[in-house]
Amino acid sequence: MEPLDELELLMEKSFGEEAALPAELFQKKVVASFPRTALSRGMDNRYLVLAISTVQNKEGNCEKHLVITASQSLENKELCILRNDWCSVSVEPGDIIHLEGDCTADTWIIDKDFGYLILYPDMLISGTSIASSIRCMRRAVLSETFRSSEPATRQMLIGTVLHEVFQKAISNNFAPEKLQELAFQTIQEIRHLKEMYRLNLNQDEIKQEVEDYLPAFCKWAGDYMHKNSSTDFPQMQLSLPSDNNKDNSTCNIEVVRSVDIEESIWSPRFGLKGKIDVTVGVKIHRGCKTKYKIMPLELKTGKESNSIEHRSQVVLYTLLSQERRTDPEAGLLLYLKTGQMYPVPANHLDRRELLKLRNQMAFSLFHRISKSATRQKTQLASLPQIIEEEKTCKYCSQMGNCALYSRAVEQQMDGSSVPIVMLPKIEEETEHLKHTHLEYFSLWYLMLTLESKSKDNKKNHQNIWLRPALEMEKSGSCIGNLIRMEHVKTVCDGQYLHNFQHKNGAIPVTNLMAGDRIIVSGEERSLFALCRGYVKEINMTTVTCLLDRNLSLLPESTLFRLDQEEKNCDIDTPLGNLSKLMENTFVSKKLRDLIIDFREPHFISYLSSVLPHDAKDTVACILKGLNKPQRQAMKKVLLSKDYTLIVGMPGTGKTTTICTLVPAPEQIEKGGVSNITEAKLIVFLTSIFIKAGCNPSDIGIIAPYRQQLKIISDLLAHSSVGMVEVNTVDKYQGRDKSIVLVSFVRSNKDGTVGELLKDWRRLNVAITRAKHKLILLGCVPSLNCYPPLEKLLDHLNSEKL
């Protein structure tokens, strides 16, 4: 039975009702676990596990023997022997594995000294997640599950800016004045300004904190780049596996060049993915010998700790690097605050232990659903055990989700156990939730997980390495055999316009169209998922794409393939929303009351209390063309204090009703004219200017109607904006401000005009009060009804302003 069928069965029962599912659900079927996985031998082998047995060898040690096959017909069986700690790997019949090592006489031997086993290799897990699992596997699994629930922070923003400044500098130079320029340019980027606004951060403070790091950037460049003699570079202790002299690990390291920035690598060999901060060419000077390596350079902006998590991340990046080039055997770890750099050797022991952690994490993520031993009921599985470290848990970003899952799911299972020392913390994190809330979380977490598992089998990203482009073209979701044409055009920072053409002529018939999200890969196996983007234009001969990386550094002969990126299997957002719904906040509590506890929404009794009496004609004009049910829906929405559900069959006019609700016309209240939407925009823009460093006293707000001035003043008073002068046109006569925002208010379709905006003298005063920046807000069709404003707008259009 497909997972989606199980979802439908669950949906048939009422909320909170126990329903025993058929006993055959989730029975392990060897062939059906990965029905679309292409089994194969060779470098990118994929084996299906048929049977597992535990035996004792001649020395009396336990071994785990796996009967495996790379044949779709389940013939040509081979044997994989797991020895030492590899026996602890959680693997079951029906699982897909990848093996690294040597195969002799159809027998693989994986032990502590040689070979690796990768469980579910098509499940790509980031190096950052695996490194974080060292302290707490449960936190790592929760972070992978609730990706959208972790809020951005000041430290994250500063870290992003510092990374970008360093990455730009290593491609240019580290001169102090150049670093200052790069820092200023990076902070001024729109995406960073938006994040500052969202986090309520001051631009000058961020700039100052970033500049505090710049001397360390110069120090690092002076230590490791551009010196005359190899002995001038700092001495370090680094032994590579390929070194013959194991005793002498002293060497001088020189960073020669930057090979790539934010290199995105997917590795279906090791079941890993990640973005390497900087890929650098390095010379290792040891005595009279010099060895050249291309290594990952990992940047850290926090405290210089040289911790096991940081070093492990570098080791995992050395595995990722093998997808593109020879084994680097080591990587570099740089702390940007001090300029201190550490070499990190990647020996077999470290790689082995990290891949075992990766397998453990993959097993937990794949087996998110289990079957009850007693009632044969589909249920959520337990997560990795809660650790007994109160201090670590206190500052964990997943503490809320951890406690929630424990109470709502795990503590409802037979035989569940929670560390006694953690019970008070779990209770504290969830004491605001009722039993019905916990049931709701458990049910919908299960529903979303079932939906996700149903769609996992339809994911197409693994087809990038499992299916050739020619085969995928038949489904219409891929175009292969493409070559890059013309020069790459930089549209803005981080977006590059590329033109592709089919090597053999016309573009094949495809379902891809403008606006589709795509993943761009090379046709050769080492170039999976080079970048992401979307199709901008497609015709018979050319595909134009806007991508997040510049591919012009690759050889001109490189052949590319474009694969449609499926987003229908993404449950990150609903899971994040489910987590937020359970938070101990006022908004979440109100939503729980309405959604889970079924509190009826509140409505205002009379329409006259929300609409002014003089707006009767305006309302009649808005309702014109709507039928009776649509008008009733409109009325209900206007009276609502919580929410309104508009239900109807297709074609009954739901969209028309919603579109009628959206416009924000002016309101006529007791003889005064106002426009709340314009007022909110004025306040928003004012706050942006202040956050950018403008003094509130240098900003002036002008509106021709006192009612609008009152609304703007009220909104400003309830915001974090300082004292900004808000006044009529007449009050600004003979006075100036650095920035002036003018709200014209008028927005209507009936051509109604007021007397104030007809006066060209008032208009002249309004638009000549700004010393540096003038912003005009208004509805152009409405303002064109006023001759003075019509002339102004015509002039602005003619000057292309």
pLDDT tens for residues 405-441? 999 999 988 777 888 889 999 999 999 999 999 999 9
Indicate whether 4 pLDDT > 60. no
Is the same domain home to 323 and 349? yes
If asked whether residues 645 and 742 sit together in one domain, one would say no
Rounded Cα distance, 151 and 156, in Å: 10
> How many C-beta atoms surround the C-beta of residue 434 within 10 A?
11
Are 647 and 688 found together in one domain?
no
Q: Are residues 632 and 714 in the same domain?
A: no
206-215, 284-293, 448-457, 582-591: the lowest-pLDDT one: 448-457
- Range(s) of the domain holding residue 629: 600-663
Q: Which neighbouring-strand residues pair with 547?
A: 496, 533
Residue 699 and residue 688 in contact, taking contact as beta carbons nearer than 8 Å? no
Last residue of a domain, one of 631, 663, 695: 663
With respect to residue 135, please indicate whether it lies within any of the assigned structural domains: no
Instruction: Decide if pLDDT at 458 tops 90.
Output: no
- By CB neighbour count within 10 A (0-12 exposed, 13-18 middle, 19+ buried), where does 720 fall? exposed
CATH number at residue 791: 3.40.50.300
Cα gap 413→428, rounded to integer Å = 21
Contact between 4 and 448 (Cβ < 8 Å): no
Q: Contact, 413 vs 379, CB < 8 A?
A: yes
pLDDT in tens, 230-274: 888 999 999 888 886 666 788 999 999 999 999 999 999 999 999
| pLDDT for res 795 | 83
Residues 690 and 645 in one domain: no
Task: For tokens 């940007």, name the residue.
Answer: 336
Same domain assignment for residues 645 and 684: no
Rounded Cα distance, 213 and 210, in Å = 6
Instruction: State the angle between helix axes of 154-171 and 214-224 in degrees (0 to 180), rounded to the nearest 10.
Output: 40
CA-wise closest residue to 15 among 447, 591, 409: 447
* 257 falls within a domain: yes
pTM of the predicted structure, to 2 decimals: 0.78
Please provide residue 83's backbone torsions phi and psi, each rounded to the nearest 5 degrees.
-120, 165
pLDDT of residue 750: 58
Please tell me the predicted confidence (pLDDT) of residue 1.
40
Task: Map residue 273 onto helix, strand or coil.
Answer: strand
Number of domains in the chain: 4
pLDDT over 70, % of the chain: 88
Q: Do residues 678 and 785 both lie within one domain? A: yes
Instruction: Give, in degrees to the nearest 5, the angle at Cα 503 between 497 and 507.
Output: 70
Q: Is residue 277 part of a domain?
A: yes
Residue 303 is assigned to a structural domain of this protein: yes
Q: Which of 623, 639, 663 is the last residue of a domain?
A: 663
For residues 54 and 107, membership in a common domain is answered with yes
**Tokens at residue 363, please?**
């097993």
In angstroms, the CA 376 to CA 23 distance is 5
Could you tell me the two tokens for 324? 């593109």
Mean local confidence (pLDDT), 744-749: 72
Q: Is residue 748 part of a domain?
A: yes
Of 641, 663, 685, at which residue does a domain stop?
663
Residue 410 lies in a domain: no
175 part of a folded domain: no
Residues in the chain, how many?
801
Q: Is residue 656 domain-shared with residue 692, that is, in the same domain?
A: no
Q: Give CA separation, 263 vs 170, 321, 554, in Å.
A: 15, 9, 13
Higher pLDDT, 256 or 634: 256
Grade residue 78 by pLDDT with cuts at 50, 70 and 90. very high
Considering the domain architecture, whether residues 688 and 628 belong to the same structural domain is answered as no
Which residues make beta-bridge pairs with 260?
279
Q: Which residues of 11-29 are buried (b: 16+ CB within 10 A; e: fewer)?
A: eeeeeeeeeebeeebbeee
- pLDDT bracket for residue 453 (50, 70, 90): confident
Please identify which residue in the block is written with the tokens 């997980």: 449
Give domain status of residue 530, yes or no.
no
**656 and 707 both lie in a single domain:** no
pLDDT in tens, 643-692: 999 988 988 888 888 888 876 555 555 445 678 888 889 988 998 888 78
Strands in 737-743's sheet, in edge-to-edge order, are 725-727, 699-702, 737-743, 770-777
DSSP 21-36: PPTTTT---TTTTSTT
Burial pattern 217-242, b for ≥16 Cβ within 10 A else e, equals bbebbebbbeeeebeebeeeebbbee
Q: Which residues pair with 103 in a beta bridge?
A: 108
Pairing of strands 107-110, 77-82: parallel
My answer on whether 651 and 760 are in the same domain is no
